[in-house]
Amino acid sequence: MGVSPATHHSHHKGTTMGATAITARPFMSNAGHAKTVTPLLIAAVVLLGAVGPLATDMYVPAFPHVTADLGASIGSVQLTLTTFFLGMGLGQLIGGPVSDQIGRKRPLLVGTVVTLVASVICAMAPTIGIMLVARFFQGLGAGWAMVIGRAVIVDLAHGSQLVRVMNVLMGVGALAPMIAPLIGAFILRFSVWRNAFWLIAVLTIVMFLAALLVIPESLPPAKRHGGGLQAFVRNSRVVLANRRFVGYMLTNAATGVALFAYVASSPILIQVRNGLSPMTYSVDFAANAGGMMIMTLLAARLATRVNTRKVMFTGQSMALVGSLIMMTGAVWFNAHWTFLLPSFFLLMAGQGLIGPNGGALASAEVPQYAGTASAVLGLTMSLSFSISPPIVALFGEGSAFGPALMFLLGALASMFFLLVVARPKAGAGL
């Protein structure tokens, strides 16, 4: 599942979200024209954030087809997820600081062009080696564009409008993992897997036009600064010295490893090992993503009523039960789909209670370094996503035991980081 972390490395670390700030504070450009957050601008930024998940989840149902077409092993095709998320992590890391120094618009256009060129190369790739490299640059451009798009929103929106817009971005972003595999399965039903990348290329052209015509230059020269990566490294040391921040960060990272063990292994386990169709797999994938979205919304409703750590522990418990079901099916029942499907659902739904809450609690530990904390969290999650596919591949093609073990270890590690490393002060409860 392509996750779109709400990461930005903007210098706006002191943005307030108090009850008194009800409307956006218009940004006045040098020309004197007010720039505000319009529905068209929101739609453009949503598109910037959606290309990443679409480039992952629309492609996953095609794993068996890519393996056959390129004459590659299952493990090497799974590695295309790793290279994509390594690129996305790097793009998020450097895109924000670069745009802090030279403005938003030019770097954003560069990011969309990189994504476009890489998507075309993916669509035409003759070998798995070229595909691996192209996927890295596709992730680099997608992460770069996504983080700058969110920085534009932070530049222009303030107070409660910023909160509302970010909620809209998260809500719409959650739909991408639900519809992407269905689009991918539809493409496979009537054409070939390469057309998924041609579709992404077309969307990237629309993204370029949106960056050119809709998204304004939101950071005037007077507000640009040259801190860049040096400032990020300096602030990161402070953030990573906070034990509870690190605990919550690793809590999310552990679940991320398990989550992408599912993404990397499920197409082979469901379609090849159990003989189900790409459309059946995609419907199940979408249902699991829907379960995660519902749990995320539930977590938001419970935010002021139930201790957040208890909500996270509930999600971890769901993931643990799912991992035990998966392990049972892998060891004793030949990884039959009747064991796989409920385990996948519990893992994904549990993630909906863990991920957003873990990120919120981590950021709350270092409020004075909100931008740095957001970038560190996004980079860590991208790295956790990237390590799962090669580990899954080590257990052999079509292995169910390897993913089941990663599910189990991920759930247990997540509990350890929450209960031990991120433990609250004495007397604060769970």
Is the pLDDT confidence value at 226 over 70?
no
* pLDDT in the model for residue 167: 59
pLDDT at 345 over 90: yes
**Residues 200/183, Cβ–Cβ less than 8 Å:** no
What does the pLDDT average to over 37-51? 84
What's the mean pLDDT in 67-81? 92
Q: What is the pLDDT at residue 59?
A: 86
> How far apart are alpha carbons 430 and 423 in whole angstroms?
8
Predicted local distance difference test score (pLDDT) of residue 23: 35
For the ranges 258-262, 304-308, 378-382, the maximum mean pLDDT occurs at 258-262
Question: 5 falls in which pLDDT band (50, 70, 90)?
Answer: very low
127 CB-contact burial (10 Å; exposed 0-12 / middle 13-18 / buried 19+): exposed
Please report which confidence band the pLDDT of residue 46 belongs to, taking 50, 70 and 90 as the band edges.
confident
3-state SS string for 341-365: HHHHHHHHHHHHHHHHHHHHHHHHH
Residues 6+ apart with CB under 8 A from 256: 3, 355, 381, 384, 385, 388
Higher pLDDT, 263 or 27: 263
Q: What is the mean pLDDT of the chain?
A: 84
- pLDDT of 159: 61
- pLDDT 10s digits, 282-291: 999 999 989 9
Residue 150 confidence class, pLDDT cut points 50, 70, 90: confident
Higher pLDDT, 94 or 138: 138
- Work out the average pLDDT over 348-365: 88
DSSP 3-state of 34 = strand
pLDDT tens by residue, 377-397: 888 988 898 898 899 888 887
Structure tokens at 40: 């068209």
Per-residue confidence (pLDDT) for residue 33, from 0 to 100: 38
pLDDT on residue 336: 96
Task: Say yes or no to pLDDT of 89 above 60.
Answer: yes
Q: How confident is the model at residue 227 (pLDDT cuts 50, 70, 90)?
A: low
Least confident of 51-60, 330-339, 397-406: 51-60
pLDDT at 8 exceeding the cut of 60? no
The model carries a pTM of: 0.81
Give residue-wise pLDDT tens across range 111-143: 999 999 999 999 999 999 999 999 999 999 999
| Residue 24 main-chain phi, psi, to 5 deg | -70, 145
pLDDT of residue 173: 67
Q: What is the pLDDT of residue 162?
A: 64
CB neighbour burial string for 317-353, b if at least 16 within 10 angstroms, e if fewer? ebbbbbbbbbbebbeeeebebebbbebbbbbbbbbbb
| Domains (range + CATH), the chain | 1-225 (1.20.1250.20), 227-430 (1.20.1250.20)
pLDDT tens-digit profile of 152-203?
Answer: 887 787 666 665 676 567 666 667 778 888 898 899 888 999 999 999 999 9
CA distance to 76, 77, 79, 339, 366, per residue, from 73 (Å): 5, 7, 10, 26, 44
pLDDT above 50 for 329: yes
Q: What is the pLDDT of residue 311?
A: 92
Q: Has residue 17 got a pLDDT over 50?
A: no
Q: pLDDT-derived band of residue 93, with 50, 70 and 90 as boundaries?
A: confident
Q: What percent of the chain has pLDDT over 90?
A: 46
State residue 204's pLDDT score: 94
Least trusted range by pLDDT, from 211-215, 367-371, 401-405:
367-371
Q: Is it the case that residue 14 has pLDDT exceeding 50? A: no
Q: In the predicted model, what is the mean pLDDT of residues 407-423?
A: 96
Which pLDDT does position 194 carry in this prediction?
A: 95
